[in-house]
Chain A
Amino acid sequence: MNEFPLTFSVLALAHGLLITIIVTIGASLVAVALGLIAGLIRVSSLWPLRWLAVAYIEFFRGTSLLVQVYLLFFVLPFFGVALSPWAVAIFGIGMNYSAYLAEVVRAAIQAVDRGQYEASIALNFPRLTMMRRIVAPQAIRSMLPPSGNLLIELLKSTSLVFFITITEFTTASKLAADATGNYLLFFAVALFGYYFLARALITPLVRGLERRLSSGFVREALA
């Protein structure tokens, strides 16, 4: 095997990995922020707001992520809005996943026991205080496992940014494999690379939050 392509490929791979991490973190922040907002609006008591959230969720969840990214990248410029590939990557993927997260948020809020709402009314909580102090702490706990799933999905979807000119981890692996002819090695690196990324970035975060918010719920509290 030629030395030059190998060194070059490893460097390109590291660069691709970094880009995947950046896009994942950026898109995750967008997804969580917009997902919380859309999910909260989705359970609002005002129906026009609720409808707005439903429309948002249905559009981003119901249509293809790649097409959404294409629209942002290739069609928006016709309307005078030219976004950089980075902005498209982070906001495109982020908005798409925020729609799924909004449904997770809604389900978690609605799964909080009715009795908790009734006790809050009996104690005369204003609605916002009730959401903040009583409902949210319990809902966030049950949001965490499905949110962890979605963030891992999001990580793996970032390879789509290849189509808008960004050379991320999967693309770099493919290029390295093509350049060196060592397909087994580089696809194995790509395969396990995503696993280790998920394991290093997302799982500890979700587990840590779960542990922090678990007081009063898990059996360990009995000890």
Chain B
Amino acid sequence: MNEPMLRFENAAKGDEGLTVLDKPDTACNDKVMNEPMVRFENVTKRYGSLTVLDELNLDIARNEKVCIIGPSGSGKTTVLRMLMTLEQIQGGVIWVDGEPLTHMQENGQMVPANDRHLRRVRSKIGMVFQHFNLFPHMTALQNCMEAPVSVLGLPKKEAEARASELLDMVGLGDKRNHFPIQLSGGQKQRVAIARALAMRPKVMLFDEVTSALDPELIGEVLNVIRKLGAEHDLTMLMVTHQMGFAKEFSDRVCFFYGGKIVEQGPPDQLLGNPQNERTRQFLSAVLEAR
């Protein structure tokens, strides 16, 4: 029972790095590295009598890039929302970095997590939304500074340096003083990515981040995500309709249908030679639409 706490302490050391994003954590031993970053264990999500996810089991390794595809209503977005604690779950346990997210251990018993525990574990996760959800009353820079200052307690100067660096990274250094209303969709989404990264998460969730964009703006956002994946140690979980991007970027693709993972595997295999009838139907419908 002591072991999970020990593992958390090791992992927490990575948070103190001076670079914008976590570099490989040398303090981690092999056991930690082999443990999944995120684990869904028999997770069930219901809205009233409607079961959206039925006993989901899914492990995501450290630094793994996983794309989730599937028709609407298949529960794919719900997976991300549960992990971000935007949805409550009705059964099972979600683990993040070796710790239960939705529960905590008390006298050897698993009890529902309190707010303090939830906030501590949640700090390892960042999310980017389909509709950006930038704060409209703040500039791009302020959007990226607000949470580091008022949640992490960073001094303003440090938060500003961090935010500037991240805005430069997403190619928006010159737009730092623009309000969201003055930015294009692609630019807004890149600010949203920088804002999430400013909290230095270990896991990044992307929920259909290009679905609300004009086609010609999709590329700039995907390029930022590519760069992130290539240059930083981040576990990424992405709900997407960009099959080309999923194929080239991800380590694994999961196909959701009716609240279950119907098929999963390396992108070449799942997208190139799907075994399941549902997957084939979905992929041919998606490809036909192009």
- Which A positions have Cβ atoms within 8 angstroms of B? 113, 115-116, 118-119, 121-126, 129, 133-134, 137-138, 141, 213, 215-217, 221-222
> Which secondary structure dominates where chain B touches chain A?
loop
User: Is A138 within 8 A of B129, CB to CB?
Assistant: no
A221-B182 contact, Cβ under 8 Å, with A122-B126, A216-B136: yes
A116-B135 contact, Cβ under 8 Å, with A124-B122, A221-B179: yes
B86, chain A: closest CB distance, angstroms? 5
A123-B179 contact, Cβ under 8 Å, with A118-B86, A133-B150: no
User: Is A133 within 8 A of B146, CB to CB?
Assistant: yes
Question: What band does the interface of chain B fall in when counting residues whose beta carbon is under 8 Å from A?
Answer: 20 to 34
> Which secondary structure dominates where chain A touches chain B?
helix
Q: Which residues of A contact B180 (CB under 8 A)?
A: 216
- The docked-state distance in angstroms from the alpha carbon of A113 to that of B84 is 18
- B127 at the A interface (CB under 8 A): yes
Interface residues of B in 91-129 (CB under 8 A from A): 119, 122-123, 125-127, 129
User: Is B86 within 8 A of A121, CB to CB?
Assistant: yes
Interface residues of B in 1-47 (CB under 8 A from A): none
- The docked-state distance in angstroms from the alpha carbon of A123 to that of B122 is 9
Q: Which residues of A contact B85 (CB under 8 A)?
A: 121
Contact with A215, one of B123, B179, B195 (Cβ below 8 angstroms): B179
Residue of A nearest to B86 (CB): A118
User: Is A123 within 8 A of B131, CB to CB?
Assistant: no
Most interface-central of B85, B119, B133, B139 (chain A CB within 10 A): B133
Residue of B nearest to A213 (CB): B137
Contact with A123, one of B86, B136, B151 (Cβ below 8 angstroms): B151
Q: Which residues of A contact B122 (CB under 8 A)?
A: 121, 124
Q: Which residues of B contact A133 (CB under 8 A)?
A: 146, 150
- B60 at the A interface (CB under 8 A): no
User: Is A124 within 8 A of B129, CB to CB?
Assistant: no
Residue of A nearest to B199 (CB): A123
